[in-house]
């Protein structure tokens, strides 16, 4: 169980003004909202990358902000984080990047061949050819490939919690579908608890168990995808209709 | 497409308050308070970095390979320029000594002056300043870039403490490498001074060394290398600290790097001024 308890955060201006949200074990929660509403800030508070001004986040009952450094590091190793801009270590190869995703205490006891195998498996899961990318530096990859390497780094440590910040933004439709399927499979088959921040509402409604809408620093709506589709909240409707519009635009372009 | 205009400093809530109408004394007190707050925050964060690096070292959680790699790159990066500044400091002090002492004082005093100026002051301080430019600035820029591109966040999200994984190896490497560089600078500086004295003043090497030994204490070597260790410790501590608190994109990295260089030079000069008060009395 993952709980946000009345989280406040301001940078010059208020960004989060009392966010409370509960994510049940094994469920996939999609978080949507306009850009700049604080979705990334909220996701970062989850594992303490940003400290809120007020409020708390608890993971399986353990507070992220009232624990010592060792507890925090232990909680973080249970979680994988996919950054909006991949955030790959740019002085390291793809192999080194992904292998840092394996917790240090495991790395110490693994042989090189086993590390290589796990890294290659993770890369295959995100539809990258290990032989082609393993020895490349991040600067030699396209934006979409970097994003997927970032995803591989987050899942290679077999986390119990996965936090995705716009995992499909910038991906082509084929790879976006692959990533969506992966998120769904990790949830369904391995019981991973996932939070997916996304702009892709159609995708979000397909893969999530619950959708939360962040607006003006608070959770404006939480419900199942079906509840979301029939909600009469004006902002939810605006989101759905704007999405319908962009879809029809795309159809028009194709025609 | 959304364009975000970063208004920088102007956006702080401070800027929204009316500036007029506040008495001068209040504004001065405010500035003083902010200054003190800044110093206190820096001091607090610096001691956290020192504490983090020390606990990492003593719990054996620092990568030995990283330390060796850092030592190698720090040493190789700095050695040529360290040797050059070392020679030049010898050449300069020797000529200055020759100019000042002709006539009144026996010429072998040039040997004493050159050796003690280099060993006690010029060797450690000039080497530290070169080290700040080559290594300290690089560390701040490197960690600052990692900070603004979320690589530091990524490291933390993987349960790895940036001070332990990035800071500690650089701090340990600096503490070990700078004293060695100081020793090289001292040796080559003395050699440079001796040859210059021979060429310009016709002072024989034996006479030069006689003068050198006359006022030399073994303690001076420890003092010199000890200074190197202290500077080699404090420079990466400040560099790491300034790198990890960088914000504001590429511009922020530039700002953090230049500020960091100023702080590192100030720290070295201030420490250098307190050293004689503690050890040479
Ligand atoms: N480290 C930071 N320092 C200052 N302001 C920040 C920082 N991180 C985010 N913000 C501000 O918080 C707001 C929300 O940002 P973000 O969470 O990235 O939005 P989004 O919902 O698009 O992910 C923005 O106005 C942004 O400028
Ligand atoms: Mg965002």
- Provide the 3-class DSSP secondary structure of residue A74: helix
pLDDT 10s digits, B102-158: 777 788 888 999 999 999 999 999 999 999 999 999 999 999 999 999 999 999 999
pLDDT of residue A90: 94
Q: Could you read off the pLDDT of A227-253 as tens digits, one per residue?
A: 999 999 988 888 888 776 655 555 555
Q: Output the six-digit token pair for A21.
A: 């949200």
pLDDT in tens, A65-93: 898 888 898 999 999 999 999 999 999 99
CATH fold group of domain A1-78+161-172+186-255: Rossmann fold (3.40.50)
**Domain layout of chain A by residue ranges:** 1-78+161-172+186-255, 88-158
Answer with the residue of higher pLDDT: A66 or B17.
A66
- Of all residues in chain A, the percent with pLDDT exceeding 70 is 95
Distance B161 CA to ligand 2 centre (A): 24
**What is the domain partition of chain B in residue ranges?**
63-276
Residue A45 Cβ contacting ligand 1 at under 6 Å: no
- DSSP code string of B123-149: HHHHHHHHHIIIIIHHHHHHHHHHHHT
Residues with CB under 5 A from ligand 2 (ion): A 40, 84
Residue A83 CA, ligand 2 centroid: distance in Å: 9
Which atom of ligand 1 approaches the CA of A44 most closely?
A: 17
pLDDT in the model for residue B18 = 47
From A10, A31, A32, A36, the mutation candidate for ligand 1 (largest count of ligand atoms within 8 A of CB) is A36
pLDDT in tens, B229-258: 999 999 999 999 999 999 999 999 999 999
The low-confidence residues of chain A, meaning pLDDT below 50, are 255
Q: Summarize pLDDT for B168-223 with one digit per residue, the tens.
A: 999 999 999 999 999 999 999 999 999 999 998 888 899 999 998 988 888 999 99
Chain A contact set for B156 (CB, 8 A): 47-49, 76
Contacts of A42 (CB under 8 A, 6+ apart): A4, A7, A16, A19, A31, A197, A214
- pLDDT, position A159: 94
Q: Is the Cβ atom of A41 under 6 angstroms away from ligand 1?
A: yes
- Cα of B69 to nearest chain A Cα, Å: 14
pLDDT of residue A80: 95
User: What is the position in ligand 1's atom list of the atom closest to the CA of A165?
Assistant: 23
**How far is the alpha carbon of B140 from chain A, nearest alpha carbon, in Å?**
15
Point out which residues pair with A196 in neighbouring strands: A30, A164
CB B203 within 8 A of CB B115: no
- Residue nearest atom 24 of ligand 1, based on CA coordinates: A36
Give me the total of CB pairs closer than 8 Å, taking one residue from chain A and one from chain B. Answer: 60
Rounded alpha-carbon distances, angstroms, from residue A30 to A45, A139, A207, A220, B200: 16, 30, 8, 13, 80
Question: Is a pLDDT exceeding 60 seen at residue B73?
Answer: yes
- If one compares B278 and B139, the residue with the highest pLDDT of the two is B139
pLDDT range class, residue B13, cuts 50, 70, 90 = very low
């Amino acid at each position: 169980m993952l709980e946000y308890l009345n989280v406040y955060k301001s940078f010059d201006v208020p960004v989060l003004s009392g966010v409370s949200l509960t994510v049940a074990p094994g469920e996939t929660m999609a978080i949507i909202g306009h850009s700049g509403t604080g979705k990334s800030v909220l996701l970062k508070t989850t594992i303490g990358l940003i400290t809120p001004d007020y409020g708390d986040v608890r993971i399986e009952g353990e507070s992220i902000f009232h624990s010592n450094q060792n507890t925090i590091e232990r909680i973080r190793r249970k979680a994988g984080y996919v950054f909006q801009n991949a955030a790959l270590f740019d002085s390291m190869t793809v192999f080194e990047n992904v292998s840092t995703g394996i917790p240090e205490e495991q790395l110490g006891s693994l042989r090189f061949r086993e590390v290589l195998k796990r890294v290659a498996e993770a890369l295959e899961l995100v539809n990258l050819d290990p032989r082609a990318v393993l020895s490349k530096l991040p600067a030699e990859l396209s934006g979409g490939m970097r994003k997927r390497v970032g995803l591989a780094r987050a899942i290679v440590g077999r986390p119990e919690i996965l936090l995705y910040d716009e995992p499909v933004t910038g991906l082509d439709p084929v790879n976006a579908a692959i990533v969506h399927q992966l998120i769904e499979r990790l949830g369904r088959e391995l019981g991973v608890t996932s939070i997916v921040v996304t702009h892709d509402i159609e995708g979000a409604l397909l893969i999530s168990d619950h959708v939360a809408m962040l607006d003006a620093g608070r959770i404006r709506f939480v419900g199942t995808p079906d509840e979301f589709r029939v909600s009469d909240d004006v902002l939810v409707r605006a989101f759905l209709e704007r999405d319908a519009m962009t879809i029809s635009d795309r159809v028009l372009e194709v025609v | 497409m959304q364009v975000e205009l970063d208004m920088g400093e102007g956006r702080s809530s401070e800027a929204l308050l009316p500036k007029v109408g506040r008495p001068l004394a209040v504004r001065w007190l405010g500035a003083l308070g902010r200054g003190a707050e800044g110093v206190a925050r820096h001091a607090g964060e610096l001691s956290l970095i020192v504490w983090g690096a020390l606990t990492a070292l003593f719990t054996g959680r620092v990568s030995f390979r990283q330390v060796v790699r850092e030592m190698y790159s720090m040493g190789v990066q700095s050695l040529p320029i360290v040797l050059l500044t070392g020679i030049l400091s010898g050449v300069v002090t020797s000529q200055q000594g020759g100019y000042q002492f002709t006539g009144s004082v026996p010429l072998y005093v040039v040997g004493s002056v050159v050796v003690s100026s280099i060993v006690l002051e010029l060797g450690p301080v000039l080497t530290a300043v070169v080290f700040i430019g080559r290594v300290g600035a690089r560390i701040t820029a490197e960690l600052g870039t990692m900070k603004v591109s979320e690589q530091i966040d990524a490291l933390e999200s993987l349960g790895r403490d940036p001070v332990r994984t990035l800071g500690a190896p650089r701090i340990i490497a600096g503490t070990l490498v700078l004293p060695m560089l100081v020793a090289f600078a001292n040796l080559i500086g003395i050699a440079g001074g001796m040859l210059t004295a021979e060429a310009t003043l016709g002072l024989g090497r034996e006479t030069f060394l006689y003068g050198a030994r006359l006022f030399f204490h073994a303690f001076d070597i420890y003092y010199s290398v000890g200074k190197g260790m202290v500077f080699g410790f404090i420079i990466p501590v400040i560099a790491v600290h300034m790198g990890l608190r960088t914000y504001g994109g590429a511009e922020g990295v530039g700002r953090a790097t230049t500020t960091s260089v100023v702080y590192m030079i100030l720290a070295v000069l201030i420490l250098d001024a307190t050293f004689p008060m503690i050890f040479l009395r």
